[in-house]
Amino acid sequence: MGRPLRDLRISVTDRCNLRCPYCMPREVFGADYQFIDRSELLTFEEITRVARIISAQGVRKIRLTGGEPLLRAGLERLVEMLAGIDGIDDIALTTNGTALAPLASSLADAGLDRVTVSLDALEEEVFRSMSDTRGPLARVLEGIDAAREAGLAPVKINMVVRRGVNDHCVVSMAEHFRGRAEVLRFIEYMDVGESNGWRLEQVVPAGEILAAIEQRWPLEALAASHEGEVASRWAYCDGLGEIGVIHSVTQPFCQGCVRARLSAEGRLYTCLFARRGHDLRALLRGGGNDSQIASRINQIWTARADRYSELRSLRQPPEAGDPGVDGAAASAQAARQAAGRVEMSYIGG
């Protein structure tokens, strides 16, 4: 579809210390879940080699993800290695923030440019139900402050909105971050993977989220800040900052999707909703030289035709009476049963 390869999201672990039901439901990712064995994980040297090869093919931005990437020991060393690659001009990290405060400045010193923190509520009880842990909301807020102070700005805040769980917190989150340096983004709940039990009626459409905020503070649309930006941007008319909305379900953005994803064990994925990835580790550990790996990546990307979210919205008409969401969600139900999609925690959102 003529989309250039610009962004690489690198998952450095499939493990996480939270159990957000929309990503890693405890009943699936329980005590006996088989996470990737350490020996199967790409080493920092292997990750850097792939990043160096793929940057020669156009990748400019790298985002480190997980699971929870800060669970991978010595991540600063990887950041330093990636920061040394010509052509990579932006290194970002997506984290749940629980381990960010003590690491923010050393990550910045190593060459990290920006951080996105996943935070789904400010109310302790809602935070706990969205993360299914008795987790430390306070530590996440400390992490956000530490990231700002370390210059990892603008710190972006990602809030996944689920109807009946945290949708009543949309306005309070907006109020908290208005006028601050952080940029709050609302994410439509997505049918990622196979285990989150996604249902149509739990999606809060972008339009509804924006309408709730506009009741309090008028907004005006902003242009995208770069090619392939996933969030649509909205500024508060009174100048107190901006918000974003990531609307993969109701307004798919596959036409502008310039992202590839590398799993922690070296499989390259060309879509968040992919069913299979392409093994690069065998080449890395099997004596493949850089040009063989480069042509393999080229082969994978040039054959890419992924547009899952777009197809989701075209496939079937919605079930009668579905409020506010078009046919996308209904057909996704059917598609997901058939396909067996990769888990988001495995390729890092």
Residues that bind ligand SF4 (CB under 6 A): 248, 253-254, 257, 271-273, 306-309
Structure tokens at 79: 């950041």
| 266 CB-near residues (< 8 Å, 6+ apart) | 42, 46, 50, 279, 280, 281, 284
Nearer to ligand SF4, 52 or 307 (CB): 307
Give me the least distance between CB of 269 and ligand SF4, in Å please.
9
Residue in the block written with tokens 């910045």: 108
Give me the least distance between CB of 228 and ligand SF4, in Å please.
9
Nearer to ligand SF4, 176 or 304 (CB): 304
Nearer to ligand SF4, 54 or 112 (CB): 54
Nearer to ligand SF4, 49 or 247 (CB): 247
Give me the least distance between CB of 18 and ligand SF4, in Å please.
23
Q: Which of 183, 304, 168 is nearest to 235 (CA)?
A: 183
Nearer to ligand SF4, 81 or 328 (CB): 328
User: Three-state SS for 111?
Assistant: coil
Give me the least distance between CB of 273 and ligand SF4, in Å please.
5
Give me the least distance between CB of 270 and ligand SF4, in Å please.
7
Nearer to ligand SF4, 174 or 271 (CB): 271
Put the strands of the sheet holding 61-65 in their side by side order.
219-222, 232-236, 242-246, 183-188, 156-161, 114-118, 90-95, 61-65, 7-11, 259-262, 267-269, 278-279
User: Virtual CA dihedral for 169, 166, 158, 195, nearest 10 degrees?
Assistant: 180
Give me the least distance between CB of 157 and ligand SF4, in Å please.
21
Q: Which helix (H) or strand (E) holds 258?
A: none
Q: Rounded to whole angstroms, how far apart are CA atoms 55 and 44? A: 16
Q: Rounded to whole angstroms, how far apart are CA atoms 129 and 120? A: 10
Q: Which helix (H) or strand (E) holds 147?
A: helix 137-149
Handedness of CA 105, 108, 113, 118 (dihedral sign): negative
Q: Which residues pair with 268 in a beta bridge?
A: 262, 278
Nearer to ligand SF4, 80 or 306 (CB): 306
Nearer to ligand SF4, 260 or 283 (CB): 260
Q: Rounded to whole angstroms, how far apart are CA atoms 140 and 104? A: 12
Give me the least distance between CB of 279 and ligand SF4, in Å please.
20
Give me the least distance between CB of 252 and ligand SF4, in Å please.
6
